[in-house]
Amino acid sequence: MRVALGVSGGIAAYKAAELVRLLQDKGLDVQVVMTRSAREFVTPLTFATLSGHKVSTEMFGGEAGGGNIESAVEHIAVAQSIDALVIAPATANVLAKMAHGVADDFLTTLCLATQAPAIVAPAMNVNMWEHAATRENLETLRRRGVRVVNPDEGYLACGMTGAGRLASLESIVQAVCKALGLREDLSGETILVTAGPTQEPIDSVRYLSNRSSGKMGYAFAEAARRRGARVVLISGPTSAEPPSVHTLERVRTAGEMAEAVFRHVDSADVIIMAAAVADFRPANHHDGKIKKLAGPQIMNLEPAVDILAELSRRRRRTGQMVVGFAAETDNLIENAAAKLRAKRLDMVVANDVSRADAGFDVDTNVVTLLFPDGRTIPLEKMRKFEVANRVLDQVAELRRLAASAAQQ
């Protein structure tokens, strides 16, 4: 989804730089539009660098006009391409212009030209905020459906104290998400996700591992974070780029993964075990490299730690949810159902890894969700990010039901 961020000429303009990042964190593509006054406070280069897009500033000439038709009608192109317009900070001047339909620069013309929902976050001196003109302009805007994120009270840059400080960036992001219909249904939840393979050393240069790329676990971490969760990601070795999360821990072996999981488990409301943890490991570990000629003909293996089984044994906290994965090549549903029961899971994501378009190291997956009450939900082939969201839909619903049951 694409959002235009209008920045007008107030002291709080510098905070809009961080807002770009936070909106991007929600998966939004951000295009910045600045007024002439805003450019007195922050340079367009800052926003161009952060957003990865040219910053729109002028209607005529300069960067936006320049005599070619594409840039001359850029305000209409932007107006039609965005899903929301957020102005933060919004000056008293911009609010007045919006209320009266004035369109004398790029931003105010965009306000008239777009049909996307608009959100304004005013910031100004307390007297300007309390002035009857500002009040009436805001009333007009509210009546027309513009969402207003009211400023906070506190110490203002002008030296006065009172209402007028730009609202918290989190509340502005929330208003944008709400206007876009983005879900924030996991806010307040801590979700622990494991991802990737593990490596079990044979000697100091060789190991046993599997084909897991970590993409499925990373998709869970990213999707959960976008839905407002605090995410703890424990990742085995992978070349995939991890999403930005609250806590990222990198581990190598099943033993290290177990140790990290049990260190974080008590703070987690939901645990999603998407990692492909080794089932067995070499019984003997050699220091240094085993010489080619002296190489063993037979390698003895022993079971690696079973994190899920250990988790179901240690699980004390009521209401904590555990979602497991069953990666199978044969008898997918029977094997997954057996795992669900044996490990006392709240949900199993059954994953047919024999298919070329699903499972390990591809961007798509085909899974079936199984629940302890016997329900099964088969999902068609979809991108791993979408699979993660479908699973999280079920997680959010089960959490909601558990919370309302606890209240009764």
Ligand X SMILES: Cc1cc2nc3c(=O)[nH]c(=O)nc-3n(C[C@H](O)[C@H](O)[C@H](O)COP(=O)(O)O)c2cc1C
- Position 137 contacts ligand X (CB under 6 A): no
- Position 10 contacts ligand X (CB under 6 A): yes
- Interface residue with ligand X, options 111, 128, 229, 353 (CB under 6 A): 128
Backbone angles phi, psi at 256, to 5 degrees: -65, -35
The two beta strands, 161-165 and 152-155, are: antiparallel
Contacting range for ligand X; rule: CB under 6 A; set: 18-26, 31-39, 71-79, 260-268:
31-39
Cα end-to-end span (Å), the chain: 39
Cα(49)–Cα(41) distance, integer angstroms: 16
Contacting range for ligand X; rule: CB under 6 A; set: 4-12, 203-211, 237-245, 259-267:
4-12
Interactions with ligand X, residue window 79-118 (CB under 6 A): 91-94
- Catalytic site includes residue 158: yes
Q: How far is the CB of 258 from ligand X (least distance, A)?
A: 53
Cα(289)–Cα(281) distance, integer angstroms: 17
Minimum CB distance to ligand X smaller for 38 or for 229: 38
Minimum CB distance to ligand X smaller for 19 or for 337: 19
Point out the catalytic residue in the list 158, 382, 398, 402. Answer: 158
Cα(283)–Cα(300) distance, integer angstroms: 5
Minimum CB distance to ligand X smaller for 88 or for 304: 88
- Position 37 contacts ligand X (CB under 6 A): yes
Residues facing residue 365 across a β-bridge = 382
HEC secondary structure over 48-105: HHHHCCCCECCCCCCCCCCCCHHHHCHHHHHHHHCCEEEEEEECHHHHHHHHHCCCCC
- Given a contact cutoff of 8 angstroms between Cβ atoms, the answer to whether 247 and 267 are in contact is no
Minimum CB distance to ligand X smaller for 121 or for 327: 121
Find the residue with minimal CB distance to ligand X.
Answer: 10
Number of residues that bind ligand X (CB under 6 A): 15
Contacting range for ligand X; rule: CB under 6 A; set: 7-15, 55-63, 283-291, 358-366:
7-15
Q: How crowded is the C-beta side of 121, counted as CA atoms within 13 Å?
A: 27
Active site residue ranges = 158
